[in-house]
A = this chain, B = another copy of it.
Amino acid sequence: MPKDKMNLLVSFDKNYIRPFQTVITSLVINNPKEEIHIWLLHSDIPNDDLLKLENYCSSLQAELTAINFDRKLFSSAPISKRYPQEMYYRLLAANILPETIEKILYLDPDILVINPLRPLWEIPLGKYAFAAASHTGVTNIMSGVNRVRLGIKQDYFNSGIMLINLVKARELVKPDEIFRCVRESKSKLLLPDQDIFNFLYGSLTKQVDDAVWNYDARHYTDYLVRSGGEADIDWIMKNTAILHFCGKNKPWLSSSSHLFGVLYKHYMQLAARQR
């Protein structure tokens, strides 16, 4: 049976075009037999840049569809350079994307894909609308703080990698609820979209293994200790599919010194060669 097409959702402003190119390059090299369709939700990326990005993806045999989203809809949301407005768009994917799409995998642009994504794509969602990983095991304290802060019972999920059952999400996600939540809780949001996601939809989310699907690249030692020494570099290179460069120390910054910096910079170069 032929594999179904993988639909990917991304959302960023023009500052993230290059990191995104690194993501898609790493994704294609590590998933060479997949048919990829990328949906980009954005507000301000100029047409010229979009055209170039379409050609770029096309040179990697991936299709790109850009959807312009009216910035005004989140005009009351707390934003900053590190947390631009585009981060909210993923929450509305179910309402924005064509009804014909039943499932989509959201990916942050500060990641590197180093193994096949198909096992994540095919995780049975059952009653859940989402699947995501929690960084609880490597950032224990914050997860507890976040739970108390938001008054939620389940683990605090990282919203950087999310498999979305769009059929379920179309039933359950109410844009009004999201907008109201943004307006009302402006002052206590630390990681705005992620807090909203956890507060509103955490209980609808199936947990997946962060060491495989959303490895927080800042916390090598914590993963190693947590796994009793198993999750060393060999293990990560064999098993981890997505390295997530959370936090401020982004590996594409020249000032960055990072355990996975050599690998990331090699993919930057592979990505640059396609331009």
Given contacts A29-B29, A234-B254, A254-B234, contact A115 B269 (CB under 8 A): yes
A270–B234 CB distance below 8 A: no
The contact of A262 among B29, B233, B254, B273, by CB within 8 Å, is B233
A262 lies within 8 A of B265 (CB): no
A260–B260 CA distance with the chains assembled, in angstroms: 10
Contact code string A206-240 (vs B, CB < 8 Å = 1, else 0): 00000000000000000000000000011001100
Chain B hits for A261, CB < 8 A: 233
Query: Is A67 an interface residue, CB under 8 A from the partner?
Result: no
Across the interface, A269 reaches (CB within 8 A) one of B238, B266, B270, namely: B238
Contact with B along A252-266 (1 / 0, CB 8 A): 001000011111011
Q: A20 CB to closest chain B CB, in angstroms?
A: 19
CB-based contact B254/A266 at 8 Å: no
Query: Does residue A131 face the partner (Cβ distance < 8 Å to B)?
Result: no
CB distance from A231 to the nearest CB of B (A): 13
A153-177 contacts to B (CB < 8 Å): none
Give A29's nearest chain B residue, CB to CB. Answer: B29
Please list 24 pairs of residues, one from A and one from B, whose beta carbons are closer than 8 Å in the complex, sorted by A's number: A29-B29, A29-B270, A30-B270, A114-B266, A114-B269, A115-B269, A116-B273, A233-B261, A233-B262, A233-B265, A234-B254, A234-B265, A237-B262, A237-B265, A237-B266, A237-B268, A237-B269, A238-B269, A259-B262, A260-B262, A262-B262, A262-B263, A263-B263, A263-B266
